Structures are given as structure tokens and as C-alpha cells.
Structure 1
Amino acid sequence: MRYAGIVVAGGSARRLSGVDKPALSVGGKPLLARAIHALEGAERVIAVGPRRAGFDVVWTREPVPGTGPVAALAAGLAFVPEDVEAVAVLAADLPGVRRSTVDRLVAGIGDGDGAVLVDATGSRQWLLGAWRVAALAAALPEQLENAALRRTLAGLRITDVPAERGEADDIDTPEDLERHR
């Protein structure tokens, strides 16, 4: 299945004193570069957030920056090629995401609307998924700003894809960053 990729690369990183999370280095590589590398098989990669030099992607921002992942998702969807059936959606703070993660998510869509990575506790990781473009676009609420991503996507037919070790980890706190350095 042909797919595009959207990397949600905004956010305020409040628990990390407002640092530019996607620029943080883990294993000598910025987190944003890890997400973009995981999308290597995508027809096009769209990054939603402040423009950062050195990345060969389409950059965009939500109409009101900082209004959440649903608004960012809608902004990214505007740049998905019309002939692409699916879109992989990744947060930009995932140190363990790999191309194999994205491949399993895209394959997991099957006959449904989307697939989401599920961590070891059984929690769906909403910013680690793959979706049929039409289903995702239809699920977006009229009011995008500050809409809850879980509520937006929960009504879709979703396949849960079990995470392999470390794939569902994210960097939200200084302790998370230290654990992955």
C-alpha cells in the first residue's frame, strides 16, 4: 500500500522546560531525524511544526500553532498526495521508532480504517499509527483546535499492533531522555 508520512513536530515540551524536543539527540541522532528515517518508504513526508534546517520534507504549520495534534494532523493531510491511500502518523519524540514499525502499521490497516501501536501496558499510542487517508479526513472534527486526538480517532475501525521492545517509548521528561541517551 502506498503511503505518505506526517510527523507531528510542534508542541511546547512543558515537562522538558520548553526545549525543542525534535532536536534532542538520542544515540547521536536528533529525534526528528529518527522519525523521518522511519518514514523512508513514504511517497512524501510532511513535518508539522517550526521549520528546521537539514530535512528534505514538506514543512507546514497548523493555522494556530500550538493548538494540538488534531490541528497538526489536519494541516499535514492537506499535503498528502491525492493518489496515496494511507498515511503514517508519528510524533517527533520517538527514540525507538523504525521503518519496520511503520511497515507493520501500514500492513496492519488491512480492511480497517487504521492501525495503532499498542505499548506493553495495552495503551494505544495515538501518535504512532497508520490510517486510510479518507477515513482520517472524515474523522476530523469541525473544530480542530485543541480537539482530543483519542476522541477524534476512537470511532474508526482500528487494528492494534503490539509494540516491539522500545518502539512505543517517547521523550516527555528529563528522565526519559537520560534513559535513552
Structure 2
Amino acid sequence: MDHGLTGFAAIILAGGQAARLGGVDKQSIEIAGRTLLEFALDAVIDASEVVVVGHHVPTDRPVTFVREEPRFGGPAAGLLIGHDSLLRRFPTIAVLAVDMPHLTSATVRRLHDAAVGHEGAVLVDADGRRQLAMVVETERLAAVQPDLEGRHGLAMRDLLAPLDLAEVPAIAREARDIDTWTDLRDAASPPEDDPTAG
């Protein structure tokens, strides 16, 4: 991959069940008056086309909303229906979960930079665990995707196993997601190293 930021698509995964949050729609959760979807859209502000895999919510951005069928097929199924729903084809696709509000456009740029010479790049946390924040080469993703019957419940690690993905260490709170109400409270708090905290 050597495309850099010369035109890319973005897929925001927002169709999960949010079981530990009582089944609320994560993309509509607010932090400091802004929804998680708004944070995610800001992170992919440089994208030429954006698909949100989740139910339609009001937004002033030009976004395509789609749902996977059957529902709740997991992030890999969401990524693939998002890929299939793109109106145009771009060299790369940025993929991120809607519940990672500390991702920014700088994160996406770092992923693109790290992907040069590889088939993509993925954000990893301090323990080396891969996160739902990545850039993948569109042609390689298309080459490894299973048929429709094989998508539901497919693990993301299995889908991406054939791809050569550079691993990009997260900076500060980039790798944190919101699975619980405690996570939400922490996300709304200033970081400990923020001189304005306290």
C-alpha cells in the first residue's frame, strides 16, 4: 500500500447490541454535548465517502446508513456490508468502532502512514491487543471476504488474518472504548496527565 490519504472511504461500525449499556444506541450517546457518532465522523473528516453501519440517526454530514442482515452479525459482518454499500471504490478503507471517542483524524493519518508497504494498519493498545480502528486495502479486503452465509458471526481476527497489517501503538486514550457506564464516565473526564484536570 502506498496510497496515503489520496482518497479513502470510511466505515463506522455502530450496529452492536450494547448489552452492558442496557441496549442503548451507542452512536447517540453524548459526551460533553456531542454524540459518539459525531466524534467518529470527526475522526474520518478526511474521508471521501462514509458509511455508518447502524440505524439511521439525524446528521448534517453526507453519510450512508446501512444495516447488516441478519442483524447483530458482529463487526466483521458490519465491515463487509459497509464495504458492499460504498457507492464508489477507493484504494483504502478506514474502519472504526463508533464507541471510541478518543480517535481523531490524526489517528487515521497515522494508520495510513504506517500502512505504507503493507496491506493496512491496525491500532493496538498497551497490551498489544488489536482494536476496531484500522485502515485496510480495499482490493485485499474484497479478496478475502467470504460469501454472505459465512459473514454472520465471523470473528474480525479471522477475516483479517490473511492481511499484512502494520500494528500502530495507541497514544494516550485512543484505544479506549465505551462498553459500560463507567467507561462513559471516564471518557467524559479529563485525562490524568491533563494539567486542567481536577
**TM-score > 0.5, shorter chain as reference:** yes
Equivalent position amino acid for 2:156 in 1: L
The whole-number CA distance in structure 1 between the counterparts of 2:159 and 2:9 is: 20
Deviations 1:87-144 (A, max 9, x none): 000100011010000111122211211100011111111x100000011122222300
Cross-structure match for 1:151:
158
Q: Aligned equivalents of 1:179 and 1:69: distance in 2?
A: 24
Structure 1: runs of 5 or more not aligned: none
Number of the residue aligned with 1:19: 24
Tell me by how many angstroms 1:28 deviates. 2.1
**Alignment partner of 1:4 is 2:24:** no
8 Å CA contact retained: 1:4, 1:81: no
Q: Which of the residues 108, 114, 122 maps onto 1:116?
A: 122
Q: By how many angstroms is 1:33 displaced?
A: 0.7
Kept in 2: contact 1:21–1:31 (CA 8 A)? yes
Tell me the amino acid that sits aligned with residue 110 of structure 2: R
Partner amino acid for 1:37?
Answer: D
Flag structure 2 segments of 5+ consecutive residues without an equivalent.
1-5, 189-198
Q: CA deviation at 1:82?
A: 4.2
> TM-score, normalization: structure 1?
0.95
Deviations 1:63-99 (A, max 9, x none): 2121111111111112335441000001000110100
Is 2:163 aligned against 1:163? Answer: no
What is the identity, as a one-letter code, of the residue corresponding to 1:180? A
3-state SS in 2 of match to 1:78? helix
What is the SS of the residue equivalent to 2:72?
A: coil
Give, in whole Å, the separation in 2 of the partners of 1:63 and 1:53. Answer: 22
Structure 1 residue 47 corresponds to structure 2 residue 42: no
Distance 1:152 1:114 in 2: 13
Identity between Structure 1 and Structure 2 (%): 39
Residue number in structure 2 paired with 1:38: 43
**Cα RMSD (Å):** 1.2
Q: Deviations over 1:121-177 (max 9, x none)?
A: 11111x100000011122222300111111111221010111110111100011101
Aligned match of 1:76? 82
CA distance in 1, matches of 2:81, 2:17: 18
TM-score normalised by length of structure 2: 0.87
State how many pairs are aligned. 180
Task: Tell me whether 1:87 sits opposite 2:93 in the alignment.
Answer: yes
Q: Secondary structure at the match of 1:4?
A: strand
Deviation at 1:14, TM superposition (A): 0.4
